[in-house]
Amino acid sequence: MDVLGWLIFLVALLVSVMLHEAGHFATAKAFGMKCTQFFVGFGPTIWSTYRGETEYGIKALPVGGFVRITGMTSIDQVDEEDEPRSFRRAPGWQRLIVLAAGSFMHFVVAAVLIFGLALGIGIETDSTTALGTVATCVPANVTAMDNGTCAAGEAKSPALLAGLKVGDTITSFDGVKTANWTELTNAILAVKPGRPVTLTVERDGHPLTLHTVLATVPGHGSYFGIGASTTFQRPGLFGAISYVGTGFSETVTGSVSAISQIPSALPNLFNKDRSSTSAGDITSIYGAARDTGEAVAANVGWQYKVSFVLLLIATLNIFVGILNMLPLLPMDGGHFAVVLWERVRAWFARLRGRPDPGMVDYTKLVPLSFGVFLILVVFGTMLILADIVNPVNIG
């Protein structure tokens, strides 16, 4: 099952990349630009065929794909008869649409996945205080708590000592009535570790009064040792549309925050407390694939598995869509910024009665583009290595 999860993630990633390229391809074709190649993968060609002027095919390494549009930059060599249909000769607004179409496809994929999840499976909710898990020990640190791991000799959890069982519903905690998980969590955190507490639970329709003493986890505070019982509710058409908007808003905010924290995250990638730092908020393709595999192999209901995988893939698409539009070459956002600068420069020239200065000289941008590419490769390699030797469980 773990291998199946990896395969699901890798196929989803490849499909996302190809849809990204399809966005560029479809818009370029619509504007009459010449597209000579559309390939899945990189490296040696395994198979290809021509349809009109475009060669479609499969490469040996299934790690992405590409579409080749004639005359993307000022330094590309283009046959004289193809120059009128080159990317660089198209109006600025058409070039901007073609460049943005790749990220747009990522956002479409994410929206479809979130919408389909809401309507088909339902939205995960923990609106009640029914218990889905009861921890067996007091974890040594926040990382162990997040991963749900116990080491030999660790003390039993307060929940286990109280006699709680999966399926119990906590109706009050330390004299505070708890109707939902937020109220219960706040009540637990309000109690200092080491102080006795009384709680009321409902088990099989009968009320019970239990007693325990809260423990503490360094970096977290009061610790009880329980987890919510998750249910899925289908919201209906308009509710699903609203869920897409909420999901996009939260993911975009989180993605922008994660990107802004990358410089501060680098020193903590190999820190033993990585999960409690900004480095715990970012993961590599390897880390996301590993988490997908663990989710598929987990001993939980199919709804949770499907929900986790779809939301992870949707989140990844939104993150990649945003990252791709950063104004840095060689990413699409860098080319987008160059076209914008060309149009702004042309507009100022017209105001001053001067001729259009034309396209930006890409020969001057090659060192910058190569430098950014090198930084991305180094950072990606470091992140993958960190996810291998110092993983963070995002599940």
Active site residues: 21
Peptide bond into 330 cis (omega under 30): yes
The 10 Å Cβ neighbour count of residue 314 is: 27
**Strand 131-134 versus strand 226-228 pairing type:** antiparallel
Q: How many CA atoms lie within 13 A of 394 on its CB side?
A: 22
Dig out the tokens for 146 from the structure. Answer: 């997040």
Residue 169 bridge partners (DSSP): 130, 202
Say how far apart CA 282 and CA 260 lie, in whole Å.
11
Q: CA–CA separation, 156 vs 138, rounded Å?
A: 6
DSSP string of 229-280, one letter each residue? PPEEE---HHHHHHHHHHHHHHHHHHHHHHHHTHHHHGGGTT-TTGGGSGGG
Query: In the numeric block, which tokens belong to residue 161?
Result: 């000592």
